[in-house]
Amino acid sequence: MGRVAGKVAFITGAARGQGRSHAIRLASEGADIIAVDICQDYDTVGYALATEADLAETVKAVEELDRRIVASKADVRDAGALKAAVDDGVAQLGRLDIVCANAGICTVQGWDQVTPAVWQDTLDTNLTGVWNTMVACVPHLIATGGGSIICTSSVAGIKGLPYLAPYVAAKHGVVGIARTMANELAAHSIRVNTVHPTGVQTPMAEGLGGLNPLIESDPNLGPIFMNTLPVEMVEARDISNAVLFLASDEARYVTGLEFTVDAGATIR
Amino acid sequence: MAGRLEGKVAFITGAARGQGRSHAVRLAQEGADIIAVDICKQIESVAYPMATPADLAETVSEVEALDRRIIAREADVRDVAGLRAAFEAGVAELGPVDIVLANAGIAPMSVQEVGDAWQDVIDVNLTGVFNTVEIAIPSMIERGKGGAIVLTSSTAGINGIGGPTRGGLGYTASKHGLVGLMRSYANNLAPHSIRVNTVHPTGVNTPMVVNDIMQQFLQQDPSLSQSMANALPVGMVEPVDISNAILWLVSDEGRYVTGVTLPVDAGFTIKK
């Protein structure tokens, strides 16, 4: 019997990286999946975003576990499209229990290099996108009679990591949304928590190569990024295991938590 | 299917009943062997009945019923020599420890305080945890295979609750103190891949909370009992809810999780 058997999870940014890992981990413990991803590049983001082929790979991996998955292209900035994707998934899979607001982008630059477009795209995706996800999903969770929402924040949602101002602002904002919604939705037995990864080995992290030269330009700033445990980066499945715990009934009374999966980066 | 803690050994204080027994049973269900200690005696300032040797024997029989091994000793976390002897007896039998659960604690809040409730609760809940971890650390470091330590704090380790009595203030101070201890240990032990976290339960359905003395204490001050409400629609959580959080933290699924203050509190602290 899987730890989330019989449950249905909605995951944004599910085509690759942490989102795909969450889909596979939850499916391996018995959940069916509703997956969305934009599958399209941003002009403002220096690395390539996921593709339709990536999303198809997630579908294949979940189906190989004998679980059902409803996947579609949707942009978390487009509230209407997101609602349509969730409604369609719930219509096909019957219910909604778990929400992973995972989709996010990241750009690296000094404060004076943050263009209005970079600022807006990051806030729209990483903060408003989380809000849009909640608005689309909460009615279904209320109908289920409870549920678990897991918002992907970051160490950058706790610390003022340099050269990441828009990202840090959005990830801090996610904590505010989660805290408020944890209170507002508690009466419906809906739990809301955030996870705060340190650097994770994903295509997004590989796209942040510009960070190292900036850090090296000021030796005082390097230690801010360091972990405490003797590991440089964690793997996507480490975040997925935390998501699995928060999504499962083992965490039935855990809400309002900022769950750092950060190898100690925030306690140094 | 292999358990989530197959082949591991856990040292648990306050294991005779309540949360400690629940942790022993839950970890054993997932394959761990257990070294269990409990004072099994009364402390003067504690007005509710504490655990007994019969309680500890019940923990032993529940773990053995799961086909796991358990070495149980009566030991007081305030008594370093006695605690070390119990720890070493367990290690001699079961092998080196991977997991430490510093769970033993008292809540000497009562309307009519007897004895030195402040000193007792600091000695048991804070110094007792320090003693527990200090005794376990050297062998964990020497072995070089990392490990996981969980300190049982409380919502009173995050919020200033517990009321104005010497026992209540001491309880809140001790549980806050554990957070500082945890954070320092987490930093100090990280190079050895030993992870240290705290759990923060709201009211749990155990003999420490569910007794006439505690209920009397909460009822004498209505503002105190009103402020004890959770956000989620549940009055008290069950010991297994804390055990499940601890199980996750000490398993390999939490291999990069250290320094976390994990509330299992039905939203108690988020609504403060």
Residues A243-263 have pLDDT tens digits of 999 999 999 999 999 999 999
Of the candidates B233, B253, B270, the beta carbon closest to that of A189 is on B233
Compute the distance between CA of residue A86 and CA of residue A181 in angstroms, rounded to an integer.
19
Tell me which of B155, B250, B257, B268 to substitute to probe the interface with A (most A C-beta atoms closer than 10 Å).
B257
Question: According to the model, what pLDDT value does residue B1 have?
Answer: 59
- Which stretch of A13-27, A215-229, B120-134 has the lowest confidence by average pLDDT? A215-229
Q: Give B182-225 as a DSSP string.
A: HHHHHHHHGGGTEEEEEEEE-SBSSTTTSSHHHHHHHHTSHHHH
- pLDDT beyond 80 at B185: yes
When pLDDT is averaged across residues B171-179 and rounded to a whole number, the result is 98
- Whether B262 and A257 lie within 8 Å, measured CB to CB: yes
Interface of B with A in 161-200 (CB under 8 A): 183, 186-187, 190-191, 193, 195
Q: Give A230-252 as a DSSP string.
A: S-S-B-HHHHHHHHHHHHSGGGT
Question: pLDDT grade, residue B163 (50/70/90)?
Answer: confident
- pLDDT beyond 80 at B87: yes
Question: According to the model, what pLDDT value does residue A133 have?
Answer: 98
**Residue from A194, A169, A170, A196 nearest A182 by CA:** A194
Question: According to the model, what pLDDT value does residue A239 have?
Answer: 98
When pLDDT is averaged across residues A104-132 and rounded to a whole number, the result is 97
- pLDDT beyond 80 at B226: no
- Whether B270 and A229 lie within 8 Å, measured CB to CB: no
pLDDT per residue as tens digits for the range B20-53? 999 999 999 999 999 999 999 999 999 999 999 9
- Whether A255 and B270 lie within 8 Å, measured CB to CB: yes
Share of chain A above pLDDT 70, in %: 100
ipTM for this model: 0.90
**Which residues on chain A are in Cβ contact (under 8 Å) with B235?**
none
pLDDT per residue as tens digits for the range A140-182? 999 999 999 999 999 999 999 999 999 999 999 999 999 999 9
Question: According to the model, what pLDDT value does residue A36 have?
Answer: 98
Of the candidates B190, B232, B256, the beta carbon closest to that of A255 is on B232
**Mean per-residue pLDDT over chain A, rounded:** 97
- Which stretch of B46-50, B124-128, B214-218 has the lowest confidence by average pLDDT? B214-218
Strands (DSSP E) contained in chain B are 9-13, 33-38, 70-74, 99-102, 147-152, 194-201, 261-264
Give the 3-state secondary structure percentages of chain A, helix then strand then coil, rounded to 5: 50, 15, 35
Of the candidates A229, A241, A261, the beta carbon closest to that of B190 is on A229
Q: Cβ of B272 under 8 Å from any chain A Cβ?
A: no
Strands (DSSP E) contained in A38-106 are 69-73, 98-101
Question: According to the model, what pLDDT value does residue A217 have?
Answer: 87
Question: According to the model, what pLDDT value does residue B224 have?
Answer: 73
| Closest chain A residue by Cα to residue B190 | A229
- pLDDT beyond 80 at B106: yes
Catalytic residues of B, by residue number, are 171
| Closest chain A residue by Cα to residue B185 | A267
Q: In what order do the strands lie in the sheet with A258-261?
A: A69-73, A32-37, A8-12, A98-101, A147-152, A190-197, A258-261
